[in-house]
Amino acid sequence: MAPKFPVLLPCSSSSILKFFLILYFTLHCPSYATGHNYGDALRKSLLFFEGQRSGKLPPDQRLKWRRDSALKDGSAAGLDLTGGYYDAGDNIKFGFPMAFTTTLLSWGVIDFGKNMGPELKHAVKAVRWATDYLLKVTSVKGTVYVQVGDALSDHNCWERPEDMDTSRAIYKIDTSHPGSDVAGETAAALAAASIVFRKRDPNYSRILLDRAVSVFKFADKHRGAYSNSLRSAVCPFYCDVNGYQDELLWGAAWLRKASRRREYREYIVRNEEVLGAGDSINEFGWDNKHAGINVLISKEVLMGKADYFKSFQQNADNFICSLMPGISNPNVQYSPGGLIFKAGASNMQHVTSLSFLLLAYSNYLSHSNKIIHCGQQSASASTLRHLAKRQVDYILGDNPLRMSYMVGYGSKFPLRIHHRGSSLPSVKAHPSHIGCKDGSRYFNSPNPNPNLLVGAVVGGPNSSDAFPDSRPFFQESEPTTYINAPLVGLLAYFWAHPNL
């Protein structure tokens, strides 16, 4: 029986016929599943964030096997730095990916909140759990606390967040030790979230926007990469490889959208070339914001309201063309099963982030009745939506292994994810303390995790669509907040439009 997934021929941008055939197979070949319950997947994707919560859990906590944790964060320095999210399967609070997660959750609510139905309230709560923490870490002017916990000692242990006895050292950037990347992303997160709360809680929205303005000024005035200031603490975990320039443009773009102030428009125009808006346009994630900047800014251009940003729209078009199957692009490839694949760890972070941009841009194109020209071919809003949907469907089970990569969704999903809290007995099941090395036997066990981290999307299969479902293979089996954050908006849209 022929495989029911897109057949990808050898790439060659010079072959128009090949481009057409690959695009046709990608968009029109039948999939494994008869349909997906996107509403259920959305509910579960948001439930995942409750499993990643740090601090004192609220009475309405739904993932019951989790308990309070890290209740003294910041106390050694006389600060309250409790709350926020653990980034992945460890127990560290990394500020850079947490801020990016917050920005993408907020963008999802802004663009697709109307499609979230009863899950909208949970999406807003997920944003606020992050922003309450970001307000704490930016409460001292000219300082941003960017990490809580020593990553080396934490990664040397396998213990529940409720049992942590490793160092909860705090790391900061300030005027003498700059970090324009993490500060710029934090400003973007606060600004984006201020839009989420503009009508829901005007006073909180103003607090977020005011803080975003202040943090951005600090980021811009004291320029530098935070990994240069804090290399031993943040590398190799969340090193800034791409540079801090993109986060300054990203922060300014969100501040412009949130505040509608002319000064941010002028900042973007003045710094477009200086800060490299046209560089690395095919990348988007916690370390590289270029594609996101171009898509975000392009909305106004497509609406005919900001011709002075025309170059950003051209960059966005080029980015979209680079994702089209059959275009020869060394940065973006497809697995035999049709999954976007980029070299490096945790491939699903690329799949969800790039798919989110595809969907957001498709909406902007629809509202402006525009199409994209990719050489002698063209891509419509419908083309982009179908490509994004193909990626989401792959995650939910339309793939060669017929496996959902979201824990708890479908009949077959990862059972041995690389996640401390999920893989160790819960506090209810095992009330006594489990020490640093005592958890190793659970890490090495072939048994499924005792606690379902419902909604977690793991790093995913390799370039050949193979998946080991084994804790030691962290690149494939570890979930992260920044995988799930873009997926929230995608699931909301396809829940409202399941028959595209």
Please check whether the domain covering 57-241+424-443 is classified as CATH 3.40.50.300: no
- Catalytic residue, chosen from 163, 418, 419, 476, is 418
367: annotated active-site residue: no
Q: Do 342 and 323 contact (CB within 8 A), yes or no?
A: no
pLDDT score, position 30:
42
Q: Report the alpha-carbon distance of residue 285 to residue 279 in Å, rounded.
A: 14
Q: Report the alpha-carbon distance of residue 339 to residue 332 in Å, rounded.
A: 10
pLDDT score, position 73:
98
pLDDT tens by residue, 421-450: 999 999 999 999 999 999 999 999 999 999
Q: Do 81 and 92 contact (CB within 8 A), yes or no?
A: no
pLDDT score, position 9:
31
How far, in Å, are 91, 93, 208, 346 from residue 84 at the CA level? 11, 7, 16, 22
Q: Do 115 and 166 contact (CB within 8 A), yes or no?
A: no
Q: Report the alpha-carbon distance of residue 280 to residue 289 in Å, rounded.
A: 9
| Dihedral pair phi/psi, residue 172, rounded to 5° | -135, 160
Task: Collect all residues with Cβ–Cβ distance below 8 Å to 268 and sequence separation of at least 6.
Answer: 249, 252, 253, 256, 297, 309
Q: Do 309 and 263 contact (CB within 8 A), yes or no?
A: no
Q: Do 456 and 463 contact (CB within 8 A), yes or no?
A: no
Q: Copy the structure tokens of residue 32.
A: 């494994």
Q: What is the DSSP letter of 85?
A: B
273: annotated active-site residue: no
Q: What is the CA radius of gyration of the chain?
A: 22
Task: Collect all residues with Cβ–Cβ distance below 8 Å to 476 and sequence separation of at least 6.
Answer: 458, 459, 460, 461, 462, 467, 468, 470
CA 254 from chain centre, in angstroms, equals 16
pLDDT score, position 6:
33
Judged by phi (left if over 0) then psi (alpha if -120 to 50, else beta), residue 410 lies in left
pLDDT score, position 172:
97
Which residue shows structure tokens 């396998």? 158
Q: Do 9 and 326 contact (CB within 8 A), yes or no?
A: yes
Q: Do 396 and 351 contact (CB within 8 A), yes or no?
A: no
Task: Collect all residues with Cβ–Cβ distance below 8 Å to 420 and sequence separation of at least 6.
Answer: 89, 90, 91, 158, 159, 160, 161, 439
Q: Do 223 and 175 contact (CB within 8 A), yes or no?
A: no
Is the pTM for the entire model greater than 0.75? yes
Cα-based angle 314, 318, 321 (whole degrees, multiple of 5):
140
418: annotated active-site residue: yes
Query: Domain boundaries in the chain?
Result: 57-241+424-443, 324-417+453-499
pLDDT score, position 32:
54
Helix (H, G, I), strand (E, B) or coil at 121: helix
Q: Do 276 and 288 contact (CB within 8 A), yes or no?
A: no
The pLDDT profile of the chain, 500 residues, written as one tens digit per residue, is 333 333 333 333 333 433 443 454 444 444 454 589 999 999 999 999 999 999 999 999 999 999 999 999 999 889 999 999 999 999 999 999 999 999 999 999 999 999 999 999 999 999 999 999 999 999 999 999 999 999 999 999 999 999 999 999 999 999 999 999 999 999 999 999 999 999 999 999 999 999 999 999 999 999 999 999 999 999 999 999 989 999 999 999 999 999 999 999 999 999 998 888 778 788 899 999 999 999 999 999 998 888 899 999 999 999 999 998 876 566 789 999 999 999 878 999 999 999 999 999 999 999 899 999 998 888 999 999 999 999 999 999 999 999 999 999 999 999 999 999 999 999 999 999 999 999 999 999 999 999 999 999 999 999 999 999 999 999 999 999 999 999 999 999 999 998 88
DSSP-assigned states of every residue in 431-476: -S---TTTTHHHHH--SPPSS--TT-B-S---TTS-----TT-HHH
Q: Copy the structure tokens of residue 388.
A: 């994004």
Helix (H, G, I), strand (E, B) or coil at 305: coil
Which residue shows structure tokens 């009475």? 59
- Cβ count near 111 (within 10 Å): 18
